Structure 1
Amino acid sequence: MKTLVICSGGLDSVSLAHIIADQHELTRLVSFDYGQRHRKELDFAAAAAKRLNVPHHLMDMRGIGAALSGSALTDDIDVPDGHYAEDTMRVTVVPNRNAIMLTIGFGIAAANGDEAVATAVHGGDHFIYPDCRPEFTRAFDKMQKAALDGYANVQLYTPFVERSKADIVKEGAAHSTPFAETWSCYKGGEAHCGRCGTCVERREAFHLAGVEDPTLYADPDYWLEAVAEGEKR
């Protein structure tokens, strides 16, 4: 199956790209610059495309991102520390981000004869991000079939939508994903901060998967406190 992967440069999407390259026919990676607070992850997406020998489409969405205000990922708002299970993480929502990106991805796929658009949304995203939930992905796939009816047949591929980030780590490891060549941290420092929601989730996922975490964290032990606090809620 000729498959385009939406790739941010993070652990989830880079792992998915490696899995697709092994199991299907990876055709291209598509990434988005939507004015996020740093662009480090996009460099890792470009490196993944080069490593997997496929084109990398970097879409300039900065104008759109500027209108999607109110998120810690796009505005001058502090990124909160803690676990994704905490309500404070809602400030990291960029409204309708996945819906917009997937729509562009489907257009690129249809124009290039691809058969699927793959995205690495997973079960850990459901609490915070509505456009990562199974209800959304099913509805979006149905909408795209109507949007492209008679022109192209492209399906949405979401292998992790009912699974955990630890599952992604396990599968990524099985397909030789170079985890050190991925970037998750929302803060964009020299090293992963170890304190923001995505760093905590990343560190916890490696632990649960039983896979060695090669990531350098500025605060490597904070995740234990954050997970314990999240479990109280």
Structure 2
Amino acid sequence: MKTVVIFSGGMDSTILVYDLIARGDTVKVLSVDYGQRHAKEIVCAKGIAAQLGIEHRVADLRSITPLLAGSSLTSADIAVPEGHYAEDNMKATVVPNRNMIMLAVATGWAISMRFDAVAFGAHSGDHTIYPDCRPEFASLMDSAIRLADWNEVRLIRPFVGQTKAELAKRGAELKVPFERTWSCYKGGEFHCGVCGTCVERREAFHLAGLADPTTYDTKAPTVAMMVRDNWRITA
């Protein structure tokens, strides 16, 4: 298949790219700059794509950032919350309609190239906080995308029933360079280790029994400390 992958440069989308290539797909990747606080992820995406020798495009949508206000990822005056994704305050990281916007742009590119599919890396751990990562959303988007052109393009979401720990194991099998991926929502020099996506990343390596190659801020607690202090990381 010929597939456009929405590529943030994070763990999930990087594993997806490697997985599709391993299956024999022709892959091109698209990153979206919507004015996110952690735009460093796009730099990481560019480096990984270059290493793989695949085409990487960036859709510059920064002009719509004011229309996506109210999220800590797009509004500088809203702090990035810390703690496990299960906490209610993690809803502050929800960017309004982000996945639909990114999928629409990726679908346009796929249609223009006569590609077969668009893919994104939503997994089973995302749906509790992010409405646009739920299986129901993906199913309806698949139906809409198939109707968007005379040449049918479909939506692939192979990880929607898997946990992030399961994805980490698959990434290890594929020799994904996890140290080159970026997750942290704070977008500093190093991963902060305590925002929702950092906590989820650390928990995934922990549960998968894999060494975590990520460089975290020196002030970040260890995973053992997080388990001890009830950060809701599974021991």
Q: Normalising to structure 2: TM-score of the pair?
A: 0.93
- Alignment of structure 1 residues 1-233 onto 2, 5 Å: 1-76=1-76, 77-148=78-149, 150=150, 152-218=151-217, 219-221=220-222, 224-225=226-227, 228-230=230-232
Q: Could you say if the C-alpha distance between residues 29 and 87 of structure 1 is closer, same or farther in structure 2, counting changes exceeding 3 Å?
A: same
Q: 2: CA distance between counterparts of 1:29 and 1:227?
A: 39
Q: 2: CA distance between counterparts of 1:213 and 1:125?
A: 21
Q: 2: CA distance between counterparts of 1:14 and 1:111?
A: 24
Letter in 2 for 1:130: P
Deviations 1:14-66 (A, max 9, x none): 11111111113233110010001132110111011111111111000111222
Runs of 4+ in 1 over 3 A off after TM superposition: 229-232
Q: 1: CA distance between counterparts of 2:144 and 2:214?
A: 38
Q: 1: CA distance between counterparts of 2:115 and 2:233?
A: 42
Deviations 1:168-210 (A, max 9, x none): 1111111110000100001111211000000000000001111
Identity value in percent = 50
Task: Say whether the 8 Å CA contact 2:29–2:56 is kept in structure 1.
Answer: yes
2:82 is paired with a residue whose SS is coil
Task: Say whether the 8 Å CA contact 1:34–1:61 is kept in structure 2.
Answer: yes
Which 5+ residue runs of structure 1 have no aligned equivalent?
none
Deviations 1:133-177 (A, max 9, x none): 0000000000111222x2x22111101111111111111111110
Q: 2: CA distance between counterparts of 1:114 and 1:127?
A: 31
Give the length in aligned residue pairs: 230
Q: Could you say if the C-alpha distance between residues 178 and 65 of structure 1 is closer, same or farther in structure 2, counting changes exceeding 3 Å?
A: same
Q: 2: CA distance between counterparts of 1:231 and 1:216?
A: 19
Task: Say whether the 8 Å CA contact 1:71–1:91 is kept in structure 2.
Answer: yes
Q: 1: CA distance between counterparts of 2:69 and 2:196?
A: 20
Deviations 1:77-106 (A, max 9, x none): 110110000000000000100001001111
Q: 1: CA distance between counterparts of 2:116 and 2:229?
A: 39
Q: 2: CA distance between counterparts of 1:106 and 1:14?
A: 19
Q: 2: CA distance between counterparts of 1:225 and 1:71?
A: 28
C-alpha RMSD over aligned residues? 1.7
Which 5+ residue runs of structure 2 have no aligned equivalent?
none
Task: Say whether the 8 Å CA contact 2:84–2:233 is kept in structure 1.
Answer: no
1:123 is paired with a residue whose SS is coil
1:66 is paired with a residue whose SS is helix
Give, in angstroms, the shift of residue 220 of structure 1. 4.3
Q: 2: CA distance between counterparts of 1:199 and 1:7?
A: 18
Task: Say whether the 8 Å CA contact 1:8–1:41 is kept in structure 2.
Answer: yes
Q: Could you say if the C-alpha distance between residues 110 and 5 of structure 1 is closer, same or farther in structure 2, counting changes exceeding 3 Å?
A: same
1:30 is paired with a residue whose SS is strand
Give, in angstroms, the shift of residue 225 of structure 1. 4.6
